[in-house]
Chain A
Amino acid sequence: MRSIGYVLVGVFFGIVLFKSEAASWFRIYEMFQFDSFHMYGIMGSALILGALFTQWVKKSGTKSFFGEKISIVPKEKGYVRYAIGGILFGLGWALAGACPGPMYVLVGAGYWPILIVLGSAVFGAFCYGLLRRKLPH
């Protein structure tokens, strides 16, 4: 039953990403050209409301729908992995015009060449796992 709930959350998220045009290659290009407020407005408003919600959950000790304690795990400390990984991700985000969420949206929307991008992203994740010990973190 819970699985259906997760699918529904995904359906909602997928519709939002498509209709907001955040899954459009053109919007990503326009964002990096600073030609529109659109993407900054999406991320900025999501972030402000998200921060209010997250701080509220942490301060109030709200329980999950299933009555469990909610733990928001902090990110591991470090700089190098976030800086280098972030830059590599940004290069790919602008080139492919899609981050992982929108890739799945575009599969559903029927833009089949995105499967090449997605397959390569899975391979990229595999290569990270392969080289992880040798990379600075």
Chain B
Amino acid sequence: MEAVYNPWPWYVSGPLIALTMAILILLGKRFGMSSNLETFCSMGGAGKFVDYFKVDTKPRRWNLMVVLGTVIGGFIGANVLSPQDQVAINKKSVETLKAFGFDSAGEAYLPTELFSAQSLSDPKIWIILLVGGFLVGFGARYAGGCTSGHAISGLSDLQIPSLIAVIGFFVGGLVMVHMVFPLIF
């Protein structure tokens, strides 16, 4: 049980993610976690403003079931399977983060400087969370997929568009961490 309670190494986690995709394909579906963002728009009545969202959400309901399960899985992972949830990242990353004021680096699952009730008293944190989320949602739908849809399923199917998208993911991520972080933190 020790092995289950400890963080799972990449050579266990990666194959299990491939297994998730394989099961969905064998169920006749596909592996992608961002199209549901559009389904939520449709369900929330976005079709009244934009025809793009005027779709029958019934054929997409399976995807929302996967989302519901993912939430439950997060609850189980955090509350049942993780007696301690510090993420032991590389010391070099801990040091650069501490220099940015992230004192929780190496001691928490998420930085308390961004994801705690106290952090939300600072308007700057709200802006970071709102901008980050907006870019993820807008970018994923513009690119037609996210990490699961492009980096795992698309590349697994040797799709050139997915390769372009994944290169884009890394260009964006590197610019954010190396050029924007020093300006905002």
Contacts and interface: CB of A to CB of B under 8 A. Distances in A.
Interface of A: 2-3, 5-33, 35-47, 49-51, 53-54, 57, 62, 64-66, 68, 70, 72-79, 81-101, 103-114, 116-130, 132, 135
Chain A interface mostly: helix
B11 A12 contact: no
A25 B8 contact: no
Q: Chain B interface: which size bin? A: 35 or more
Contacts, number: 503
A105 B32 CA distance: 14
B170 A90 contact: yes
B115 A113 contact: yes
Nearest to A81: B142
A19 B146 contact: no
A64 B26 contact: yes
B78 to A, nearest CB: 4
A22 B154 CA distance: 19
Contact of B73 (A3, A17, A68, A89): A17
Interface in B129-180: 129-148, 150-159, 161-162, 164-178, 180
A125 B41 contact: yes
